[in-house]
């Protein structure tokens, strides 16, 4: 079963490195359904000040 991708996705990790790894893994697994290059995907991501949370908002 394919789940629809939500308009916003939040990633959290123990460190900034861990959360970045999770973000890249998500993009890699969903790049076809997202229809975004890595650059376009990262342009839609916002990192919190502590670096342990990243929020991705779909551009549409």
**3 has a pLDDT exceeding 90:** no
The residues spanned by each domain of the chain are: 9-57
Compute the distance between CA of residue 59 and CA of residue 56 in angstroms, rounded to an integer: 9
3-state secondary structure of 17: helix
The confidence band for 1, taking pLDDT boundaries of 50, 70 and 90, is: very low
Tell me, what's the pLDDT at 5? 64
Rg (CA), the chain: 11
The answer to whether 3 and 50 have CB atoms below 8 angstroms apart is no
**Model pLDDT for residues 14-58, shown as the tens digit of each residue:** 999 999 999 999 999 999 999 999 999 999 999 999 999 999 998
Whole-number Cα distances in Å, 51 to 34, 36, 48, 55? 24, 23, 5, 11
pTM equals 0.83
What are the two backbone dihedrals, phi and then psi, of residue 17, each rounded to the nearest 5 degrees? -65, -45
Mean of pLDDT values over 3-23: 89
């Amino acid at each position: 079963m394919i789940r629809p991708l939500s308009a916003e996705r939040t990633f959290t990790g123990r460190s900034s490195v861990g959360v970045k790894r999770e973000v890249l893994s998500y993009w890699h697994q969903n790049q076809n359904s997202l229809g975004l290059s890595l650059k376009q995907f990262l342009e839609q991501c916002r990192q919190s000040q502590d670096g342990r949370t990243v929020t991705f908002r779909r551009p549409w």
